[in-house]
Amino acid sequence: MNLRPADLAMFDKLRIPAELVELAGIERVTNHDARETYGIKGGGDMAGILFPYFDPESMANGRRRTYIRIRRDYPEMEDGKARKKYVSPYGDPKHFYFPPCPELFADTSVPIVLVEAEKSALALLAWSRRVGRKLLPLAMGGCWGWRGKVGIQETAAGDRVPEHGAIRDLNICRDGRLTYILLDTNCATNPAVGTARKELSRQLRKQKAEVRIVALPVDHHVNGPDDFISVHGDEALAQLFERGSTDWRALFHTYEESLNAPPVKFAIPGFLQQDAITGIGGLAGHGKTLVMLSMARVLLEGGPLFNYFPFEVSELSRRVLYLIPESGLGPFVHRLKLFNLLDQVRQERLFYRTLNSKDPMMSLADPRLLEAAEGADVFLDTAIRFMEGDENSASDHRRFAQVLFNLQQVGATTITAAHHSPKNLGHANFLSLENVLRGSGDMGAMVASCWGVYQQDPESNTIVVKNVKARDFAPCSEFRIQGRPYIDERGHFQIIQMPGEGEEFNPQQDRGKKGGRPATPDKADKLAKAQKLIDAGKTVEDAAASVGVSRRTLFNWIGEGKKGVQ
Model pLDDT, residue 518: 38
Decide if 351 is inside a domain.
yes
Backbone dihedral angles phi then psi of residue 164, each to the nearest 5 degrees = -115, 145
- Where among 75, 92, 109 does a domain terminate? 92
Decide if 516 is inside a domain.
no
Q: Provide the 3-class DSSP secondary structure of residue 95.
A: coil
**Pairwise CA distance, residues 162 & 400, whole Å:** 17
> What's the alpha-carbon Rg for the chain, to the nearest Å?
28
Check: CB of residue 378 under 8 Å from CB of residue 321: yes
Backbone dihedral angles phi then psi of residue 50, each to the nearest 5 degrees = -95, 130
Decide if 517 is inside a domain.
no
Identify the CA nearest to 201 among candidates 218, 179, 223.
179
Check: CB of residue 132 under 8 Å from CB of residue 164: no
Model pLDDT, residue 114: 97
Question: Which residues contact residue 302 at a Cβ distance below 8 angstroms, ignoring those fewer than 6 apart?
Answer: 312, 313, 316
Decide if 220 is inside a domain.
yes
Check: CB of residue 430 under 8 Å from CB of residue 394: no
Domain at 153, CATH number:
3.40.1360.10
For the four alpha carbons of 231, 233, 236 and 241, in that order, the dihedral sign comes to positive
Alpha helices in 134-224 (DSSP H): 191-206
pLDDT digits (tens, 9 = 90+) for 338-348: 999 999 999 99
Model pLDDT, residue 63: 56
Alpha helices in 132-178 (DSSP H): none
- Looking at residue 172, what DSSP letter applies? G
The letter for the amino acid at 382 is: T
Decide if 8 is inside a domain.
yes
Q: Provide the 3-class DSSP secondary structure of residue 165.
A: strand
Domain at 471, CATH number:
3.40.50.300
Neighbours of 74 (CB within 10 A): 13
Residue 58 Cα distances to 66, 105, 168, 534, angstroms: 13, 11, 17, 67
Burial 162-197 (b: 16+ CB within 10 A, else e): eebebbebbebbeeebbbbbbbbbbbbebebbbbbb
Cα-based angle 175, 181, 182 (whole degrees, multiple of 5): 155
Backbone dihedral angles phi then psi of residue 152, each to the nearest 5 degrees = -125, 135
Model pLDDT, residue 517: 35
The letter for the amino acid at 164 is: H
For the four alpha carbons of 48, 54, 59 and 62, in that order, the dihedral sign comes to negative
Check: CB of residue 364 under 8 Å from CB of residue 301: no
Together in a domain, 75 and 114: no
Q: Using CB atoms within 10 A of its CB, is residue 257 exposed (0-12), middle (13-18) or buried (19+)?
A: middle
- Where the chain has pLDDT below 70, the residues are 57-66, 244-251, 360-361, 388-401, 426, 440-442, 511-523, 559-566
- Where among 204, 239, 262 does a domain terminate? 262
Identify the CA nearest to 445 among candidates 284, 277, 292.
277
Neighbours of 444 (CB within 10 A): 20
What is the domain extent for residue 372? 266-510
Together in a domain, 328 and 426: yes
Together in a domain, 281 and 243: no
**Pairwise CA distance, residues 367 & 352, whole Å:** 17
Together in a domain, 118 and 70: no
Check: CB of residue 33 under 8 Å from CB of residue 58: no
Decide if 518 is inside a domain.
no
Residue 94 Cα distances to 66, 141, 207, 275, 314, angstroms: 11, 9, 19, 27, 38
- Where among 237, 262, 287 does a domain terminate? 262
H or E, element range at 555: helix 551-564
Peptide bond into 354 cis (omega under 30): no
pLDDT digits (tens, 9 = 90+) for 385-424: 887 655 555 555 566 667 777 788 778 899 999 998 888 7
Together in a domain, 388 and 327: yes
Extended beta strands in 155-228, E state: 160-166, 178-181, 210-213
Question: Which residues contact residue 404 at a Cβ distance below 8 angstroms, ignoring those fewer than 6 apart?
Answer: 277, 364, 415, 417, 446
Together in a domain, 318 and 456: yes
- Looking at residue 336, what DSSP letter applies? H
Model pLDDT, residue 316: 94
Residue 99 Cα distances to 60, 299, 488, 512, angstroms: 12, 45, 63, 75
The letter for the amino acid at 336 is: L
Together in a domain, 352 and 436: yes
Together in a domain, 475 and 358: yes
Burial 101-119 (b: 16+ CB within 10 A, else e): bbebbeeeebbbbbbbbbb
Together in a domain, 23 and 171: no
Together in a domain, 300 and 374: yes
Together in a domain, 17 and 65: yes
- Looking at residue 518, what DSSP letter applies? P
Together in a domain, 308 and 325: yes
Backbone dihedral angles phi then psi of residue 502, each to the nearest 5 degrees = 75, 180
Overall domain count for the chain: 4
**Pairwise CA distance, residues 342 & 339, whole Å:** 8
Cα dihedral 227, 232, 238, 241, rounded to 10, equals -60
